[in-house]
Structure 1
Amino acid sequence: MSLIHVKNLTFTYDGSYEPVFENASFQIDTGWRLGLIGRNGRGKTTLLRLLCGTYPYQGTISASTPVSYFPYLIRRPEAPAIDAVSEMEPDYELWRLQCEMEKLRLDESILLRSYATLSGGEQTKLQLAVLFSSEQHYLLIDEPTNHLDLPGRELVSRYLSRKRGFLLVSHDRAFLDGCVDHILSINRADIQVCRGNFSTWMENRERQDAFEQRKNEKLLREIARLQDTAREKTQWAGRAEARKIGSAPADRPDNYRSYQGAKAERTMARAKAIEKRREAALEEKKLLLKNLERREELKLVQLPFYTERLAELRNIRIAYGARTVCDSFGLSVRAGERIALQGPNGCGKSSILHLLCGMDVPHGGEVRRGSGLRISFVGQNTSGLCGSAAELIREKEIDESRFYSILNKLDVPKAQLERDLRLLSEGQRKKVLLAASLCERAHLHVWDEPLNYIDVISRIQIEELLLRFRPTIVFVEHDKAFCEHVATRIVSMQKA
């Protein structure tokens, strides 16, 4: 395998004053199973695009291996999927594609269906099969898990664990742990490469942060001590200098004033030496905590409800035309529960959430919600988010300072929210919706795949929030670690 060398990479989007990368340097082996992580807005997708040669940049990127990028852009989704395969990789070999499809448990019959009729998971797996059926390419894979349910994620993670030669962007901790052997992290101050999976990187990161925190505290104490000592010696030397008369040599202690003057000079010299030590300690301190990721606590105040049972669904059947997605389903939501709905794609999880919120869903059965129940909903899709943050605050009638505070803790500074929200990254847009939900006065939170596009550190913050404040919430999420840590009850659903 070969190396990709990146040296002094600098890139800024047109119209932006802040560079995405500035003099970044690193190298990677194209034989690694490399996971790319970093908080939203740090430039993960931008880096993949730069490696593809999509944008002009300063610095050098040297690679002897051509690259392929996932997801492909499908220009004719209404055509049969086999035509989409030709569009993705014109020189594909059918037998290689069939082998990869079999490993991903894709039936060959989907190649004859319109690409647009494939589920999101089927489209993702087919694109990965095409990607790995070509040889001699370095593969750039950008967030493949967003359309995969939990079994699909586990399948694709096992599939990737048997491959080599790719750079993968994902925020799913369990998914990364299952398939990567190196981590490339875009930090606050630099870009670093670490051997191991995500858990290895996280353990090393926390150990390094703790070491730097202790060293920082020690230096602060040392700086304060040196500052006090230098001040005392400077003041003493100043007083002694004021009393000095004459210029007798210092080796005549009987001449008290001259002796005191010489002593004052030595004390002043020591004070200057101490000041230099203080400045050196300050310089050393500057090198610490540059990459410390803030995991400040988020806050949630949920309204109390007057009864223990907030909502109940009985014998629910949901059908869209002739297609029944859910039948004989029941769910009771009690105060304090954190309920995770799980099941394969297409079993009606999102429809149940919409029905619970009172949205228009064709159904049979009984839906009961407590009188006056207030629900805060966050959907999968961020496409409807537009306009300014100020307009969203007015529309939702939420507290402005609290909204901006939550987003700042999630690493979305207020300055980035002064433009149209459509210009934010997908992860930042999802954070805006979650922050608004956390500010709403509600008895029940209903979240549909809230972590899509959200970076790992922010996922941990949200997880810690739910564990600390214990709100009543019903959610759908395919992040295995998040569900295992957060859910008090898992409700499994099956296709009708």
Structure 2
Amino acid sequence: MALSSSHDRIFLDQVIDHTLVIEKNQLFLAKGDLTTYQLQKERRDTFDKRQNEKTRHELARLKKAALTKENWAKQAERQKQNNAHADKGFIGHRAAKVMKRADHLNKRLQAEIKTKEQQLKNIETSATLSLNYQRSQKKTLITAKDLTLAYPAKELFSKLNFTVSTGQIVVLKGANGRGKSSLFQALLGQTELIQQGSLTLATKRFSLLKQDLSENTGTLAAFAQKHALDYTLFLTLLKKLGIPRQTFATKIEQMSQGQQKKVALACVLATPAELYLLDEPLNYLDTFNQDQLLELFATVHPTMLVIEHDQNFITKLADQIIKL
């Protein structure tokens, strides 16, 4: 028996025969690969949603009945108070009987309501993310012509030609050390590598996600101010990505790697941009967060140059693949 921990769906489907998942309220073991588990979860969630709908209808009926019984008691009490010249003993006795009966029925209804509320399933869902994307009026945002990048003793790649047009999602692929991150650095003029040919970035309104998160430090408020972010939007995105509110007081460098990645992602999503430069955005993210990003990018389809190895991401989103 072997244990494997990974967020690569295709890899997991190829090697595992049981899936142990930490769900919101339980630890769930499913026989089969990740895709099998996800299909099972979809069926469970669909059934639970139908049961929730039935339970909510029943709760509405019970609460309406409870309100009616409560109104009985109030009406009886008002009748007693408003009949100052009537037989107090008779009215008081009748009111007491009505109030006692209403109180008994209401207690029973409240017990049923409590039981029904406990039967509601807490279904785990992924919140929908937003993107501060501003589509450029320019046709092409990145152009590489006969581009060569090299160290003094090693060439990374040569004679590379490609364009990134507005509205395109372009994926950079290649083995580690082939120059994918270096191309990003060259694009931003931040590399000391030897460069031949031309590489043009036609916008200053871009949002960058780096692999190295060590520069992200301090409080969330200071980080948001440094990056000129809408603080409310920034915190909203963090919450949707699954960071609990109590963590908001934690300094970024003291967070887990997954949480630090979510801080960087929230910054990228909140930044107004015509172009997104993302270096391995799925690293450190679980499948729920990956689905959130996939849904967001598939819906908005922003202009993007992305370094990513995840085949599921590439298959679903890439308009063009550049291999180094």
What TM-score results when the alignment is normalised by the length of structure 1?
0.59
AA at the equivalent of 2:117: L
Structure ranking higher in helix proportion = 2
**TM-superposed deviation, 1:307:** 1.5
Give the one of 173, 177, 186 matched to 1:355: 186
**What is the SS of the residue equivalent to 1:167?**
coil
AA at the equivalent of 1:464: E
Q: Is the 8 A contact 1:339 1:487 kept in 2?
A: yes
Cα 1:218–1:314 shift into 2, 3 Å: same
Q: Is the 8 A contact 1:337 1:488 kept in 2?
A: yes
**What is the SS of the residue equivalent to 1:442?**
coil
Cα 1:330–1:280 shift into 2, 3 Å: same
Cα deviation, 1:451-490, whole Å, max 9, x if unaligned, reads 1111110011011111111110000111111111111221
Alignment partner, residue 320 of structure 2: 489
Give the one of 247, 260, 283 matched to 2:118: 283
Q: Is the 8 A contact 1:311 1:332 kept in 2?
A: yes
AA at the equivalent of 1:282: E
**TM-superposed deviation, 1:313:** 0.6
**TM-superposed deviation, 1:366:** 1.0
Q: Is the 8 A contact 2:16 2:33 kept in 1?
A: yes
Cα 1:228–1:489 shift into 2, 3 Å: same
How many residues end up aligned between the 2 structures? 317
Alignment partner, residue 324 of structure 1: 155
Alignment partner, residue 294 of structure 2: 463
Consecutive unaligned residues in structure 2, runs of 5 or more: 81-85
Alignment partner, residue 120 of structure 1: none
**What is the SS of the residue equivalent to 1:490?**
strand
**TM-superposed deviation, 1:391:** 2.3
Task: Determine the C-alpha separation between the residues in 1 that align with 2:220 and 2:66.
Answer: 50
**TM-superposed deviation, 1:441:** 2.1
Counterpart mapping for 1:230-379 below 5 A: 230-236=66-72, 239=75, 269-285=104-120, 288-289=121-122, 292-360=123-191, 361-370=193-202, 372-379=203-210
Percentage of matched positions with identical amino acids? 30
Alignment partner, residue 83 of structure 2: none
Q: Is the 8 A contact 1:339 1:488 kept in 2?
A: yes
**TM-superposed deviation, 1:264:** 7.4
Cα 1:228–1:175 shift into 2, 3 Å: same
Alignment partner, residue 56 of structure 1: none
**TM-superposed deviation, 1:261:** 8.2
AA at the equivalent of 1:492: K
Cα 1:394–1:233 shift into 2, 3 Å: closer
What TM-score results when the alignment is normalised by the length of structure 2?
0.88
Higher relative contact order (CA 8 A, sep 6+): 2
Task: Determine the C-alpha separation between the residues in 2 that align with 1:240 and 1:403.
Answer: 55
AA at the equivalent of 2:302: P
Task: Determine the C-alpha separation between the residues in 2 that align with 1:418 and 1:261.
Answer: 55
Counterpart mapping for 1:413-424 below 5 A: 413-424=244-255
Cα deviation, 1:45-65, whole Å, max 9, x if unaligned, reads xxxxxxxxxxxxxxxxxxxxx
Alignment partner, residue 20 of structure 2: 184
Consecutive unaligned residues in structure 1, runs of 5 or more: 1-164, 249-256
Cα deviation, 1:252-284, whole Å, max 9, x if unaligned, reads xxxxx9999878765654444333322221232
Alignment partner, residue 233 of structure 2: 402
Residue 221 of structure 1 pairs with residue 53 of structure 2: no
Give the one of 193, 197, 202 matched to 2:29: 193
Q: Is the 8 A contact 1:318 1:363 kept in 2?
A: yes
